[in-house]
A and B are shown apart, each in its own frame.
Chain A
Amino acid sequence: DQQVKQNSPSLSVQEGRISILNCDYTNSMFDYFLWYKKYPAEGPTFLISISSIKDKNEDGRFTVFLNKSAKHLSLHIVPSQPGDSAVYFCAARAGSQGNLIFGKGTKLSVKP
C-alpha cells in the first residue's frame, strides 16, 4: 500500500512558466512533508518542507502548498528554468523520529 503517491511520472513545462508537481498521501498521522530534487546517479537534495500546521511555505521560486483535508500537497516552481529539470520526490513522515516515506517521483523537464 503506497502511503505517498505521485501520480504523474513526468511533466514537461516551457521555460518561464509555472511547474506544478502534485503529491497525495493516505496516512493522516503524517505531520511533516518534504520535497527532494534528484539528478541522475546522484542522491536526493532537500528542496523545501512544510509542517502540517501550515498550509503554505515559500522559498524563492519554490512554494509548497498543503491541503490537509484533501491529503494533498503541491510544489510550485515559478518561473521554471531548464536547470530545474530533474526528478522530484515528495516525502512524508509521522513525528520527528518517523522515517521518511517517499513517493515514486515526478520527472520534470523544462524546455528552453
Chain B
Amino acid sequence: GAVVSQHPSWVICKSGTSVKIECRSLDFQATTMFWYRQFPKQSLMLMATSNEGSKATYEQGVEKDKFLINHASLTLSTLTVTSAHPEDSSFYICSARKASGIDTQYFGPGTRLTVL
C-alpha cells in the first residue's frame, strides 16, 4: 500500500506560538508533497506544493512567511504555522505523490489545529 502519516493528529496551542506538523510517506518515496487546509463543510484547499530539496510553491493568498514548508527528504515534509492565531484553526492535511508507478496522491490522516 501507500501510507502517509501525519504528526501530531491534533494540537492545541496559545495564540502567538508556532506549531510544526510532520508529514511522512512510510512505504514509498514522494517526489512531491502537498499541504491542504479544510474548513468545516468546505473543500480541501491547496496551500502549497513542495518538491524535495527545493522551495515550496504557494497558492495565491497563502502567506509563505506564515506557513513555512520544508521538504527535507523524499519521505518527509513539515509545515510550520508561525505565530498562530485563532483564525489559523483548521484541519491540515498533507498528501504525497509517488515518484513512480500510478500517479495518484495519497493523503495523510490530517492534523486538527486549535489556536486559543
Binding site for B on A (CB under 8 A): 9, 34, 36, 41-46, 49, 89, 96, 99-105
B107 touches A105 (CB 8 A): no
Flag if B105 contacts A103 (CB, 8 Å).
no
Q: Report whether B112 and A105 are in contact in the complex, using a CB–CB cutoff of 8 Å.
A: no
Whether the pair A46, B43 counts as a contact (CB closer than 8 A) is no
Are B110 and A43 interface neighbours, CB within 8 A? yes
Contacts of A99 in B (CB 8 A): 34, 46, 49
Known contacts A42-B109, A43-B93, A43-B110; decide if A104 and B43 are in contact (CB<8 Å): yes
The number of inter-chain residue pairs (CB within 8 angstroms) is 45
The docked-state distance in angstroms from the alpha carbon of A43 to that of B93 is 6
Set of chain A residues within 8 Å of B42, measured between Cβ atoms: 104
Please name all residues of chain A whose beta carbon is closer than 8 Å to the beta carbon of B45 when the two chains form the complex.
Answer: 102
Cβ of B103 under 8 Å from chain A: yes
